[in-house]
Amino acid sequence: MTEQIKSGIAIAAKILAAFGIAVTFMTGFVSIWKPGNWYQIAVGWLLTGGSIALMITTVRFWAGGFFGFIAYGALRSLGGVLVANTYHVSRLYMVMVSASILAMAILSHRFTAKRLRVTMIDRTTIVTAASCVLITVIMGDTYMGLAVFNLGNLALLLAWWIARASRRNRHKSQTASVLTV
């Protein structure tokens, strides 16, 4: 029973930490995006840069949760296609949103593997994708927000392609070494 309580507290702490980092990033981004005084811009850059640095160093900690969050959003958005008029958006826009979220869920699924060796390219691309999601939340239901979201998809697609190419090259070199022995 105490292990379940500890596990529950650990999960709650992870969720609160992720929420705190997301709020810090979004606060910093808004301070940069809608500048006022020079010190607000400086504080915005500090908050945004600090949250990005924290995300990069803790990717292993939150990448699986990111997939879960995005996959849940993909399922919810599919329902939104059916009731697009309720949200005062076109059905075509909701189809594009659903396709984009579903693509991000598919592309980020590989980060849930326990044995995945997370490279610096992987870290950079998943943080880019997460940042694009947070910026999209700030921008709201706009085509510009959807374009920013899909920049995250492009980053994840690039990481997937690079990982696939490196696996293929490792496999070829292993096969070549076995054949020469």
CB-hemisphere CA count at 13 Å for 131? 25
**What pLDDT score does 164 carry?**
87
Distance from C-alpha of 101 to C-alpha of 87, rounded to nearest angstrom:
17
**What pLDDT score does 160 carry?**
92
- The answer to whether residues 11 and 65 belong to one domain is no
- The answer to whether residues 64 and 26 belong to one domain is no
Give domain status of residue 37, yes or no.
yes
- The answer to whether residues 52 and 63 belong to one domain is no
- The answer to whether residues 72 and 30 belong to one domain is no
Q: Which domain covers residue 29, as residue numbers?
A: 1-57
**What pLDDT score does 128 carry?**
96
Give domain status of residue 158, yes or no.
yes
Contacts of 64 (CB under 8 A, 6+ apart): 111, 112
- The answer to whether residues 123 and 160 belong to one domain is yes
Give domain status of residue 180, yes or no.
no
- The answer to whether residues 14 and 84 belong to one domain is no
**What pLDDT score does 33 carry?**
86
- The total number of structural domains that make up the chain: 2
Judged against a pLDDT cut of 90, whether residue 51 lies above it is answered with yes
Looking at per-residue pLDDT, the higher value among 128 and 3 belongs to: 128
Distance from C-alpha of 96 to C-alpha of 81, rounded to nearest angstrom:
9
Distance from C-alpha of 23 to C-alpha of 11, rounded to nearest angstrom:
18
- The answer to whether residues 31 and 82 belong to one domain is no
- The answer to whether residues 32 and 95 belong to one domain is no
**pLDDT tens per residue, range 130-156:** 999 999 999 988 899 999 999 999 999
Q: Are 127 and 52 in contact (CB under 8 A)?
A: yes
Structure tokens at 94: 């909701």
Of 30, 57, 84, which residue is a domain's last?
57
- The answer to whether residues 76 and 15 belong to one domain is no
Give domain status of residue 179, yes or no.
no
* Predicted TM-score (pTM) of this structure: 0.83
Q: How many other C-beta atoms lie within 10 A of the C-beta of residue 159?
A: 24
**pLDDT tens per residue, range 76-129:** 988 888 887 787 888 888 899 999 999 999 999 998 888 878 889 999 999 999
CA-nearest of 100, 92, 79, 88 to 154 is: 100
- Stretch among 26-35, 123-132, 165-174 having the lowest mean pLDDT: 165-174
Q: What percent of the chain has pLDDT over 70?
A: 92
Of 57, 78, 104, which residue is a domain's last?
57
**What pLDDT score does 172 carry?**
60
- The answer to whether residues 20 and 96 belong to one domain is no
